[in-house]
Chains A and B, each alone.
Chain A
């Protein structure tokens, strides 16, 4: 049941995005990269290269290993922090071209996206770190 619930949560977010009618506004390559790269690099920064191995290795009897829980915590927190930093960078870039007041709205929409991606990563890692995916299906 538990993997099913994860799929349900992701599907409901995707449906909500489709419902807005402008799904293409939710994709922005620089915003995605400023979140994804720090999240991957933070695993190496805090746990070394062995962290990548621990991330995909289950514990005995389907229990979560302590390392995996810590790595997921690192990933989630890094996602939120780098997302907020990305939003700050976006706002400072916006301040450079304030001359056109009508352009502020669309630029703000793009500037919020890194935080959105970071929160999405935080949601996924929070769910995964409190589930044991090994035993129940």
Chain B
């Protein structure tokens, strides 16, 4: 258990260290996107803690564990959040003041969702469904294409 928690902390420190190539980790705090991803995930974790069986053990007749379910919900939330950000981005195309918050929502919901998915993957001992990995990979394309849109709009 000590090895597990230490290595997860090490992985998160790796990501935090990478942010210092820019302006540091404070640029990654955004309240609306944190709220959007964290509230459903915390609710699901609370429901899971009320259940009788453990979070990492399989749900009877379902084939996945509760922790795996939380991870999938986080990924789907990140895809939904990035699409909501896209709507805001292209609705205000060309308006510098409105484009910024929408793009921050797009990037950071996706970032938090994938981070929670990753932590759930590391905490459990399940094998992932391939669809979830494809969802994660698709976020790169969404980011690149919308970065192009943002560059055209300013």
* Residues of A that sit less than 8 Å from B by CB: 30, 33-34, 37-38, 41-42, 44-46, 48-49, 70, 73, 77-78, 80-82, 84-89, 91-96, 98, 101, 104, 108, 112, 115, 119
Is B114 an interface residue when CB atoms closer than 8 A count as contact?
yes
How many Å lie between the Cα of A92 and that of B10 in the bound state? 21
Note all chain A residues with C-beta closer than 8 A to B128.
73, 77
Contacts A84-B114, A93-B27 supplied; 11 other A-B pairs, CB < 8 Å: A34-B18, A42-B11, A44-B3, A70-B127, A81-B133, A84-B137, A85-B15, A85-B115, A92-B22, A93-B23, A104-B151
> In the complex, which residue of chain B has the Cβ closest to the Cβ of A99?
B154
- Evaluate contact between A42 and B14: CB separation under 8 angstroms: no
> In the complex, which residue of chain A has the Cβ closest to the Cβ of B12?
A38
Q: Which of A49, A93, A96, A112 has the most CB of B within 10 A?
A: A93
B107's contact among A30, A37, A92, A104, by CB below 8 Å, is which? A92
Q: Is the interface of B mostly helix, strand, loop or mixed?
A: helix
- Evaluate contact between A88 and B19: CB separation under 8 angstroms: no
Note all chain B residues with C-beta closer than 8 A to A91.
107, 143, 147
Question: Which 6 pairs between the two chains have the least Cβ-Cβ distance?
Answer: A93-B22, A45-B7, A44-B7, A41-B7, A88-B111, A38-B11
Chain B 5-28 per-residue mask, 1 if CB under 8 angstroms from chain A, else 0 = 001101100110011011100011
Note all chain A residues with C-beta closer than 8 A to B136.
80-81, 84
If A92-B22, A101-B151 touch, whether A45 touches B14 (CB-CB below 8 Å) is no
- Evaluate contact between A93 and B19: CB separation under 8 angstroms: yes
Is B72 an interface residue when CB atoms closer than 8 A count as contact?
no
> In the complex, which residue of chain A has the Cβ closest to the Cβ of B110?
A88
- Evaluate contact between B139 and A84: CB separation under 8 angstroms: yes
Note all chain A residues with C-beta closer than 8 A to B8.
41, 45
- Evaluate contact between B4 and A45: CB separation under 8 angstroms: yes
How many Å lie between the Cα of A11 and that of B30 in the bound state? 43
* A-facing residues in B7-56 (Cβ within 8 Å): 7-8, 10-11, 14-15, 18-19, 21-23, 27-28
Note all chain A residues with C-beta closer than 8 A to B23.
93, 96
Q: Which of A73, A78, A88, A108 has the most CB of B within 10 A?
A: A88
Note all chain B residues with C-beta closer than 8 A to A48.
3-4
Chain B 118-154 per-residue mask, 1 if CB under 8 angstroms from chain A, else 0 = 1001100101100001001101100110010011001
How many Å lie between the Cα of A59 and that of B17 in the bound state? 38
- Evaluate contact between B27 and A42: CB separation under 8 angstroms: no
Is B103 an interface residue when CB atoms closer than 8 A count as contact?
yes
- Evaluate contact between B27 and A92: CB separation under 8 angstroms: yes
